[in-house]
Amino acid sequence: MTEIVAVDIGGTHARFAIARVQGGRVAHLDDEITLKTAEHASFQTAWEDFGRRLGRALPPAAAIAIAGPIQGEVLKLTNNPWVIRPSLIPSKLGAERYSLVNDFGAIAHAVAQLDDDRFTHLCGPEVPLPANGVVSIVGPGTGLGVAQLLRRDGQYHVIETEGGHIDYAPLDTLEDQILAHLRKHFRRVSVERIVSGQGVPNIYEALASIENRPIQIRDDKELWTAAMEGKDSLAAAAFDRFCLSLGAVAGDIALAQGAAGVVIAGGLGQRLLKHLPRSGFRDRFIAKGRFERRMDDMPVKLITHPQPGLFGAAAAFAAEHGE
């Protein structure tokens, strides 16, 4: 069994944990330690802080998931001033072996290796995710992550994508008006403008404009809370439209990828758990014309592991190094 440091670096927080991998899979993930990126000058100083908090020497192996592309000699993170130079990881961190993976690629690795009880059923047949075929993974968070997991004969492959940046397609007259409003602010409106953390604020502002009403809530966190708790009717309407759009987008991604199952993940996933089954998510997910029956026969799950990014980073290391 090999011990490694698993890291999940986002825009605001960097999460660290010790993981143990064996036989190409994650055997155990310790409790995480979360550090604020704004309080650390670099990834190296955060790594050292984790070691001090742990009170022990860190193992010489690392699994690192980052919010951003992982190609090139210098990696720049999304919404985070840190830069990572992969060639310097062994000397800077003392990690003789390491794996780098995009943060949503890590989620896909987690989906591949987690047990069935780490997923909650949303719609479609209440059966496990397929052992063979494609699983589409869609994750609203700061942005909209999209990945593809291909399972075949006991093996799996993760394909990272930028599916969150495809064009937004309105499906009724109200969404036509929402799109027209957003076009005044964005040269191009991608699905990420609607189905992500910025989605409810964007929709809320559009609805306020349509109704010629003043914007009452300007703080995004306060707006999300009011929307999900139904404390403000316009915010609640924006949240309803968010859930509809998430269903439509998840269905589009599944069709495009030839999926046999879908997983909803992302930073907002856990917050949506109680709401999606009661929303119009399913109706929009299956509303694909001649493919409606196929969509309705597809299991749709929500991942419930508390730290899928850390687990997935460790899984990516185990798969790459065969540990």
| Mean pLDDT of the 140-151 span | 93
Query: What is the pLDDT averaged over residues 105-120?
Result: 96
Sheet holding 155-160, edge to edge: 119-123, 300-303, 261-264, 133-140, 144-152, 155-160
- The model's confidence at residue 72, banded by pLDDT at 50, 70 and 90, is confident
Q: Binding residue per annotation — 10?
A: yes
Give the mean model confidence (pLDDT) for residues 289-308: 96
Per CATH, the number for 2-114+305-321 is 3.30.420.40
Strand pairing report for 300-303 and 261-264: parallel
Return the higher-pLDDT residue of 174 and 75: 174
Is 142:267 a contact under the CB 8 Å cutoff?
yes
Q: What is the Cα–Cα distance from 81 to 125, expressed in whole angstroms?
A: 44
Has 12 been labeled as part of a binding site? yes
**Average pLDDT over every residue of 214-224:** 92
Residue 67, pLDDT score? 84
Q: Inform me whether the pLDDT recorded for 77 exceeds 80.
A: no
Following DSSP, what letter does each residue of 191-210 receive, concatenated? Answer: GGGTSSTTHHHHHHHHHHHH
The CA-atom distances, in angstroms, between 253 and each of 134, 288, 296 are 11, 12, 15
Nearest CA to 147 out of 131, 170, 164 is that of 164
Asked if residues 80 and 291 have their Cβ atoms less than 8 Å apart, the reply is no
11 annotated among ligand-binding-site residues:
yes
- Highest average pLDDT, of 103-107, 215-219, 297-301, comes from 297-301
- CATH annotation of 163-303: 3.40.367.20
Is 137 annotated to bind ligand?
A: no
Phi then psi dihedrals of residue 140, to 5 deg: -75, 130
Q: Where do the domains of the chain lie?
A: 2-114+305-321, 163-303
At 183 the three-state DSSP class reads helix
Is there a binding annotation on residue 309? no
List CB contacts of 187: < 8 A, sequence separation 6 or more.
none
Same fold flag, 2-114+305-321 and 163-303? no
Kindly give, in sequence order, each residue whose CB lies less than 8 Å from that of residue 222, ignoring residues fewer than 6 positions away: none
Residue 177 token pair: 């008006």
Q: Is residue 208 over pLDDT 90?
A: yes
Q: Is 199 known as a binding-site position?
A: no
